[in-house]
Amino acid sequence: MADHAVTLDNVVAHYGRTQVLHGLNLSVGEGELVSLLGASGCGKTTTLRLLAGFIQPTSGAITVAGRDITDLPPHKRDAGIVFQNYALFPHLTVADNVGFGLKQRRVPVAEREARVKAMLARVGLADYADRLPAALSGGQRQRVALARALVIDPPLLMFDEPLSNLDAKLRIDMRVEIRELQRANRRTAIYVTHDQEEAFSISDRVAIMHAGRIVQLDTPEVLYTRPVNAFVARFVGFDNLLPMTVIARDGDAVTVETVGGTLLTLSLGMTGPLPDRFLVGARPEGLEIVSAGPETIPGKTHTRSYLGRAYQYKVDTALGVLTANAPLAHDHGQDSAVGLRLNFEHCCILPYEEN
């Protein structure tokens, strides 16, 4: 554990009587950026607030840089936090906002001013030192918040949905900027977001959280191609989950049956080893629309929407409504009988579970 900058060891947390974290384990390496990704109420913000010391865990231990900080009050934790709504001090100038942490640490005035100036230059706000936060744009405020958190050289940087109040274009610019600053300063960072694209683009690893637990913690690449279960699969865009039962195995060829009695022959070379029951997670482009016939799942198209690069169809099948993309060249119209063929380049194999 010694080489981990941050560890959470079996952390349990409650809000009143409601348990919000169920034994969370997380280790973040030195200089690594790990995102906590999940819908609201999954416990990601709670985890961040535990790390910041704003709430206390019911049980478990938290260490930062090898030191147990579980019982340390928040003002002694040296946390650099970037808040969702910036949380700038409205009555202080930009320079005083950025210098706030240094002042608390009794850094001599001359050094403080120099460090604030350097940090403001770094985030491109050198000319705004004497402004009040109210006179800044959203992106500029976000930069001040970032500078304020970075200037104290925190062992751990924390981001609480820092970009959710910015417009789409700025959000993309800012996340690149955050990533660059974090890497240039070699800061260990925890980044909370509900935006999958943001988490995947910025992080070394992403922890997908659900109902107070980390469901999967992996690099974005692994998460995107090899989700561990149906929840993560759905989260990363495997919109179709098809239950399969193996009925015959013959070397590389495996015959499976799906809902509605459709038989399909799969190649282990394409899918990897298969248990007797499993789910196929298929992205919309993993279901090819062909004419109905053997080795396809029969269905009927009903709603077509134009995606630009492809048409997306809702297809009624015995498995329910599936989502399939087809190239623009093949217009299958609406209400026509079609077959769906699995393309394992865009599918994954998941452990079986009831819907």
Partner 1 sequence: MNRRKLHPLMQLAGWLVMLFLIGPVVIVLGTSVSDTTYLAFPPKGLTLRWFENVFAQDSFLSTFAISMQVAAGGTLLALVLGLAAAYALARYRTTIPAWYGSVFFLPFFIPEIVFGFSLLKTLIVLFELPVMPSLILGHAILCLPYMVRVIGASLASFDFSIKEAAVSLGMHPVRAFWTIVLPNIRSGMIAGVVLAFITSLNDMAVALFLTGPGISTLPIEVFTYVEQFFDPTVSAVSVLLMAVTTIVMILIERSLGLSKTIK
Q: Which letter does DSSP use for residue 292 in this model?
A: S
- Within 119-158, which residues bind partner 1 (CB under 8 A)? 134, 148, 152
- Within 28-57, which residues bind partner 1 (CB under 8 A)? 52-54
Q: For partner 1, what does the binding mask look like between residues 212 and 241, x meaning CB under 8 A?
A: ------------------------------
Residue 269 to residue 281: CA distance in whole angstroms: 17
**Do 59 and 10 contact (CB within 8 A), yes or no?**
yes
Least distance CB 134 / partner 1 (angstroms): 8
Least distance CB 287 / partner 1 (angstroms): 45
Size of the site for partner 1 (CB under 8 A): 28
By beta-carbon proximity to partner 1, the closer residue of 52 and 274 is 52
By beta-carbon proximity to partner 1, the closer residue of 57 and 227 is 57
Alpha-helical runs (H) found in 240-336? 268-271
**Residue 88 phi/psi, 5° resolution?**
-75, 155
155's tokens: 């062992």
By beta-carbon proximity to partner 1, the closer residue of 134 and 329 is 134
By beta-carbon proximity to partner 1, the closer residue of 52 and 228 is 52
By beta-carbon proximity to partner 1, the closer residue of 70 and 343 is 70
Closest to 21 (Cα-Cα) out of 38, 44, 2, 3: 44
Least distance CB 79 / partner 1 (angstroms): 5
Q: Which helix (H) or strand (E) holds 28?
A: strand 18-29
By beta-carbon proximity to partner 1, the closer residue of 145 and 264 is 145
Q: DSSP for 311-337?
A: EEEEEEETTEEEEEEEETT----SS-E
By beta-carbon proximity to partner 1, the closer residue of 132 and 259 is 132
Residue 54 CB burial class (10 angstroms; 0-12, 13-18, ≥19): middle
Least distance CB 165 / partner 1 (angstroms): 12
- Within 66-105, which residues bind partner 1 (CB under 8 A)? 73-81, 83-85, 87-91, 100-101, 104-105
Least distance CB 316 / partner 1 (angstroms): 44
Residues 6+ apart with CB under 8 A from 352: 243, 275, 277, 278, 279
173's tokens: 């610019």
β-sheet bridge partners, residue 249 = 254
Name the site residues for partner 1 (rule: CB under 8 A).
16, 52-54, 73-81, 83-85, 87-91, 100-101, 104-105, 134, 148, 152
